Structure 1
Amino acid sequence: MSFDLDTSNPHFAKAVELREIFARDAAARDREGGKPLEQLARLKASGLLNILVPQEYGGAGERWSTALKIAREFAKVDGALGHLYGYHFGSQHAAQLRGTPEQAADIFRRTVSGNWFWGNTANSFSKSLFGRRDGDGYVLDGYRPFTSGSHIADYLQIAWEDYDTNARSFAVIPASREGLRIENDWDGFGQRQTGSGRVTYTAVRVHRNEVLEYKPDGGRPYQTVTPFLQQSALLNVFIGSAQGALIAARDYTREKSRPWIHSGVEKHTDDPWIKRIYGELYTRVKAATLLADEAAETLDRVRARGQDLTASERGEASVVIAGANVLAGEVALEVTSKIFEVMGARSATITNGYDRFWRNVRIHTLHNPAEYKIRNVGSWFLTGAHPDPSAFQ
């Protein structure tokens, strides 16, 4: 099938190997929730956590598109692992985007040396964590919801509001910092192993050198591209889920599905209705995949431009990524629901666990409303105006 990665790339070859291992118990782990600690250990051993770190700091210096396609590969069998892997890189690169060059170099060296996995507690909507100046740093009290990856993280990207001014600040701190309580209380019906619950702060100290606030000219376009990383990770989870669901359904249909009694065929795969549905779903997934690839290449160009990225270039990229995100979500919802019609009633069991594909996609699309993204695309097409940078675009 044409959704396969080019395994001549050693990172892709390792990702395919891990995907096959992750697939063995993906349905069971989805039912259980909790922490994917064995899977995290395999990721650390694989070397895939540091592939985007520049070579001068000990990483592989790969492109963003490589990491996104690996996240997509994992999501073929386990949307939670695809999510965790993709989000890891946004937090790992926070210092590069929001800090000084010296901070970025220090974090990159230490993350490679420690082989850290990154999580975050930087939810953009919640005004529930506040900090006050204390000596040369800050002290934080409150909580953050939707803290993906926090439950298995070595290091965290965090954000808080100032008690007096409500201004937002960012920092990177160890997940073991005194006063942090990682609740691991995520209760969503999908993405059950992402640890996307609450983290509580009680007098948590943030040191001055951990705060990321370098803005040489009041803020450059490159320092506003964090949403691109998050949205790109999500859209590739959608794509991987759609591809994985379609492949799983095809295999089930070939091996286990029975023809309907009025179909007039002896094999389910000979039914014209079944052929048409699979043809339509494959074509839709293929189209969404191609747009996702274009968005990933766009992100590579954004990263290559770095601090030289212009506002116009940033705006063009935001439209491409938004369009890819919308189509990926729509197609994934359609595929992960419609596969049951062509597999048949016996496929819809808890043991099979095929419903996890739909649940994982559905819960993420709710946190990432397509309506506002597609409006931005339409506005750009009509007027040429790019969306204003924000936490989600």
Structure 2
Amino acid sequence: MSASLAPSTSNAAVAYLHPAAADAPALFEPDTANPYLARAVALRDIFERDAIERDRAGGKPLAQIQLLKENDLLHLLLPREHGGQGEPWSTALRITRTFSQVDGSLGHLFGYHHSSLLSPRLRKEPGKTAELWRRSVQGNWFWGNTANSFSRSLFGRQEGEWFVLDGYRPFTSGSHVADFLSVAWEDPQTGERRFAALPSDREGIVVEDDWNGIGQRQTGSGRVSYHGVRVHQGEVLGAPAPLNPAGAPAEAWRTVTPLQQQSVLLNVFVGTAQGALRAARAYTLHKSRPWVHSGVARHTDDPWVQRQYGELYVKTRAATALADRALAALDHVAAQGEALTHAQRGEAAVAIAAANVLAGQVALEVTSEIFEVMGARSAVRPEGLDRFWRNARIHTLHNPAEYKTRNVGRWFVSDTVPEPGTFQ
């Protein structure tokens, strides 16, 4: 573990930096018996120090990414034989949730890094995958994504043993701080899709770093442009994939990426709700004043305040429980490997969709309603409490709950699991 975490995580320091944790140490805390989760909690309290300022500034959380590297958190999910720690997906996603309690951007980046890092395995290139993973561990790489499945805006023409890429990809989370990028492009004539993994400093790659959303301000989810980028045939992962697959579905294990990505999203939602409630509680205990007509001397003695917090806590606990169930479902799917059946995959998709729906709803509700019980003085920029709502609001827009709710309802009345797709 990096020396950079000591002495900044002494009990006194944590209590000062995170009054909510000091007042209620068990409030949405992960099980720190797992050493990686213990590191995540310590890092969370470091990240909180300047979370408000970084949210305002946007840009690159370079120092925070460096701390992830120094604390050996980037290769948790890789097999031990390739230099990783062999942890299950649930470990990485609980860390995603923990970081999101103070900084949804870092939770987002951390979760999506793992999805990009694991993606080469799906291309049936075990030799190339093993080599990429070995080099990633050796170089302690952080991975970003430029493989947007909806944008038909990056094309590659073949020139002998090379592909030459021109165009762009939008919504490239993590690209602005990435050492390596997962990339997908289309053939301009056939529409067939190819995949590769490239160093982010490859000549011709321009990370625009132009993300300007109202929330998730440091995710770098803008555009990456490709200008004559050369990709050798030896770097290409797998056979070309048709633009519109038809006939028998692919092997179930090759369709798990959406489940992983949806799990990242829902744990960002849950962590955001948890963090907003922790921060609101701390504010109420230390700063809120009773309403003039409440008839109480302390704000916390107001029955209205108590009921409102009770409702928000119950809803957040429910969302957390459903998210934990979804973690178990994803771990079970991942443990099956290539033996995974479509039925098993479908059951996990329902569990993850259900958790996603509730997590998003609760995150939006909690991050908005906390202001009602904190009071007018809480809604000022120096407090930075609006970042929780902005993060939840923009992230849920990229993940409409309506279609997940329909999938769950269709399964409930007809026992039909969702077909594998980009968002399910």
Sort the TM-score into its range (normalised by shorter chain): over 0.9
Matched, 1:9 2:34: yes
**Which deviations, in whole Å up to 9, do the C-alpha atoms of 1:190-247 show, x marking residues without a partner?**
0110110000101111222222225999731111111111110011000000000000
Counterpart among 335, 340, 358 of residue 327 in structure 1 = 358
| Structure 2 residue aligned with 1:110 | 135
How far, CA to CA, are the matches of 1:169 and 1:198 in structure 2?
19
Structure 2, unaligned runs of 5 or more: 1-25, 242-247
Aligned residues: 393
Matched, 1:51 2:82: no
Q: Give runs of aligned pairs for residues 311-326 of structure 1, distance below 5 A.
A: 311-326=342-357
Counterpart among 268, 272, 276 of residue 241 in structure 1 = 272
CA contact (8 A) 2:193 2:240 kept: no
**Helix, strand or coil: the match of 1:119?**
strand
TM-score by length of 2: 0.91
**Which deviations, in whole Å up to 9, do the C-alpha atoms of 1:144-167 show, x marking residues without a partner?**
110000000000111111111112
Cα displacement (A) at 1:268: 0.3
How far, CA to CA, are the matches of 2:162 and 2:349 in structure 1?
35
Counterpart among 152, 156, 162 of residue 127 in structure 1 = 152
Q: Which amino acid aligns with 2:70?
A: A
Structure 1, unaligned runs of 5 or more: none
| Structure 1 residue aligned with 2:420 | 389
Counterpart among 300, 305, 309 of residue 274 in structure 1 = 305
Matched, 1:229 2:260: yes
| Structure 1 residue aligned with 2:334 | 303
- Runs of 4+ aligned structure 1 residues displaced above 4 Å come to 214-218
CA contact (8 A) 2:97 2:267 kept: yes
Cα displacement (A) at 1:2: 4.1
- Aligned CA distance change for structure 1 residues 295 and 108 (closer, same or farther; 3 Å): same
| Structure 1 residue aligned with 2:216 | 191
**Helix, strand or coil: the match of 2:30?**
coil
How far, CA to CA, are the matches of 2:235 and 2:255 in structure 1?
19
TM-score by length of 1: 0.98
| Structure 1 residue aligned with 2:388 | 357
How far, CA to CA, are the matches of 1:253 and 1:99 in structure 2?
54
Matched, 1:149 2:149: no
How far, CA to CA, are the matches of 2:78 and 2:239 in structure 1?
20
**Helix, strand or coil: the match of 1:130?**
strand
**Helix, strand or coil: the match of 1:61?**
coil
Cα displacement (A) at 1:8: 1.5
Q: Which amino acid aligns with 1:6?
A: D
How far, CA to CA, are the matches of 2:235 and 2:328 in structure 1?
31
| Structure 2 residue aligned with 1:292 | 323
- Aligned CA distance change for structure 1 residues 310 and 214 (closer, same or farther; 3 Å): farther
**Which deviations, in whole Å up to 9, do the C-alpha atoms of 1:46-71 show, x marking residues without a partner?**
10011111111111100000000001
How far, CA to CA, are the matches of 1:97 and 1:63 in structure 2?
17
RMSD: 1.3
CA contact (8 A) 1:100 1:214 kept: no
**Helix, strand or coil: the match of 1:160?**
strand
CA contact (8 A) 2:204 2:228 kept: yes
Q: Give runs of aligned pairs for residues 69-88 of structure 1, distance below 5 A.
A: 69-88=94-113
CA contact (8 A) 2:111 2:264 kept: yes
